[in-house]
A and B are shown apart, each in its own frame.
Chain A
Amino acid sequence: MNRFSANRLTPYLFMAPAALVMLLALFYPIAYMIWGSFRSWDPSQSITETDFVGLANYMKLLADPAFHESFWVTLVFAFSVVSVEMVLGVGLALLLDRKIRGMSLLRTLFILPMMIAPVVVGLVWRYMFHQTYGTFNRMLDAVGLPRVDWLGQNPLLSVIIADIWQWTPFIFILSLAALQSLPRSALEAARIDGATPLQQIWHVKLPLMAPVLIVTLLLRLIDAFKVLEVILVLTGGGPGLQTEILALRIARTAREFRELGEAAAMSNMLLMLLMVLTLGMFAFTRWQEARARRLRFTNQEES
């Protein structure tokens, strides 16, 4: 019996400040946005003066080729960065999961990219991708290869490369943590059975890491839909609409075109997309926990 619950107000007092702030600055704005997405909303009006337009904002978006393009760019961006980062991050973790001198320094240096402000990342990469004095083109010159117009001809690729640089460390650190907490006995058993290193990875390590890897993947995928500043500084969404991800389009629709209703409708759609991903993650962890509990139970019965 929990002695603290004698006073039934206590938990609410602990909870209140956080709940209040989140209600005021997250839930209320979201509700406001959903409401606004059904109205013809101009920033010069107060929202109560706006007209109710039903689904017009959504219809307009669904018929708008520019929105379609943003949507696809967002999906291509998110799925390509996440898949490359997964392969690289997990690969690096498998490679570096051994006792080496200076491992902690190495990890420190590897997590540096994710700590740096996205606007600064955008700034540096814009310099490196620059057509005439950028680092990459100078390197291509040095080895005698033709120059590449990174931001002009391959904008999406450039943006993807910058994101991979910044976020592969995230996958790397989490996979390394997962690897180092794997049960020693299973790895020993595989080694004694004479499995080659590759077989050990494929048949023992990866399956055992799978739960952590799936959560990591979903987390990173959700975050990939939030990326905005790097792209804003690197390409500004252009040339044309080639790198205009949804988040950027929302910001532009609100600020430049001053169509708040439409921007709200777009935000709603992005939110729904992310909600599906989050629910997926949720369901997965719940299932995982239930399975772990069941396994523990069976093991206890056996022993």
Chain B
Amino acid sequence: MSNTTYERQNPAFYVLIAMLIFMSIGPVGILLINSLKLDVNITSGAGGLLFMPTIRNYETALCDLLWYQPDHLRFCRIRFGGAFINSLIIALISTALTLVMGTMAAYALVRFRFMGRDTMSLSTLAVRMIPPAVLLVPVFGLWNNTFCIGRTTMLGEFIRDTFGGRGDICLAGTHSGIILIYVAMNLPFVIWILQSFIVQVPYSLEEAARVDGAGPFQTFFMVVLPLIKPGLAAAAIFTFRIAWNEYLLASALADRNTMTVPILIVNNASEFDGLGTIFATGMLLAIPPILFTLFASRQIITGMTAGAVKG
């Protein structure tokens, strides 16, 4: 049966589909529309779709990145730009690290028999269920107290003498601190879905590379990686999405300078006057995942099915 033959459907069926689409993307539309409205228009009953769109909210949200001073602002209160850059740094670096480490681990689990393999694969599966809330308490304690370079150690003294400051540096409040926990949180999932892609790489290809004199690492980077690109894309999107959207752990670890966008939204969500600005901030946070979904939905669906159906 070819894929291009479509069955004729009842018109009622199309009405139903239209309703489903409306329900599914309606809230996103509301977000977009409200981000283009003035606060008065958001809260007043009248209007609906009849309003003059304004980019004022976006100007307010992005005021610390703009090269000009918007005329409706006396000072820049919401520092969205800085938070946006923090979010980008954290999400991109943690995604890259997770992918590299995760692919290597998945490869080892699929291709080699070694001692501790079963323990490793079991624990990878088991830690997938840990909620961020459970990590909150220990991560907060460890990142603030234990994962530090003390001021009395050699490295601590060196840092103090070279860069100034108190000399004891803890992971909390740094980008690396948040990146570390995101990498750890995402690794189990990435290892799991990449395994199902690596299994499908024909072993004969690797053997051929071996015969040509490639070492295991060369084989991995030159032969295996190019073949599992779709899996890598799926894993990258999932990892990025979690790092980009996560709020709780970031809020416990970040300080004023390393704050990410979700923290900014939660901190400002209850304020009544900046409603439009908050919607604009939310829209800006939602744009990257929306773009992913539109451009790579096939990869997302494959990744989801590989991650779930295989158990």
Contact = CB atoms under 8 A, between A and B. Distances in A.
Contact of B247 (A3, A107, A135, A229): A229
Contacts of A183: none
Interface in A241-256: 246-248, 250-251, 254-255
Interface string A5-26: 1011011101101110110111
A11 B112 contact: yes
B113 A22 contact: no
Given A17-B104, A24-B184, A100 B7 contact: yes
Interface string B9-53: 100000011001101110110110010000000111100000000
B82 interface: no
Contact of A267 (B23, B113, B137): B137
A: interface residue count bin:
35 or more
B131 A226 contact: yes
B200 to A, nearest CB: 16
A69 B139 CA distance: 26
B294 A108 contact: yes
Nearest to A122: B269
Contacts, number: 296
B100 interface: yes
Contacts of B109: 15
B151 to A, nearest CB: 15
Contact of A260 (B141, B216, B293, B304): B141
Nearest to B34: A127
Interface string B111-155: 111100100100111111111111111111110010000000000
A117 B244 contact: yes
A164 B142 CA distance: 35
* Overall SS of chain A's interface: helix
B308 A219 contact: yes
Nearest to A14: B108
B230 interface: no
A122 B100 CA distance: 33
Contact of A25 (B5, B123, B181, B301): B181
A25 B180 contact: yes
Contact of B301 (A19, A109, A177, A278): A177
A255 B301 CA distance: 37
Contacts of A251: 133, 136, 248
Given A24-B184, A120-B265, A215 B311 contact: yes
B269 to A, nearest CB: 5
Interface in B87-120: 100-102, 104-105, 107-109, 111-114, 117, 120
B37 to A, nearest CB: 11
Contact of A215 (B25, B30, B43, B308): B308
A96 B191 CA distance: 32
Contact of B266 (A14, A18, A165, A233): A233
Nearest to B304: A173
A112 B25 contact: yes
Contacts of A222: 128-129
Interface string A159-181: 00000010001100110011000
A140 to B, nearest CB: 13
B210 A3 contact: yes
Contacts of A289: 311
A47 B141 contact: yes
B38 to A, nearest CB: 13
A196 interface: no
A90 interface: no
A18 B311 contact: no
Interface stretch (B56-64, B160-168, B282-290): B282-290
Given A115-B290, A215-B309, A229-B248, A267 B241 contact: no
A229 B139 contact: no
Nearest to B131: A226
B290 to A, nearest CB: 7
B245 interface: yes
B305 interface: yes
B81 to A, nearest CB: 18
B188 interface: yes
A106 B311 contact: no
Contacts of B188: 22
A228 B207 CA distance: 48
Given A30-B130, A289-B311, 15 more contacts: A10-B112, A15-B108, A21-B101, A22-B124, A33-B137, A109-B25, A117-B262, A117-B285, A119-B247, A127-B279, A174-B308, A228-B131, A229-B248, A251-B133, A254-B137
19 contacts: A2-B113, A4-B216, A11-B114, A14-B108, A17-B101, A26-B184, A30-B134, A96-B17, A115-B293, A117-B245, A119-B245, A119-B285, A124-B27, A135-B30, A232-B247, A247-B133, A263-B136, A271-B130, A278-B128
Interface of B: 3, 5-7, 9, 16-17, 20-21, 23-25, 27-28, 30-31, 34, 42-45, 100-102, 104-105, 107-109, 111-114, 117, 120, 123-142, 145, 180-181, 183-185, 187-188, 191, 207, 210, 216, 220, 241, 244-245, 247-248, 252, 262, 265-266, 269, 275, 278-279, 282, 285-286, 289-290, 292-294, 297-298, 300-301, 304-305, 308-309, 311
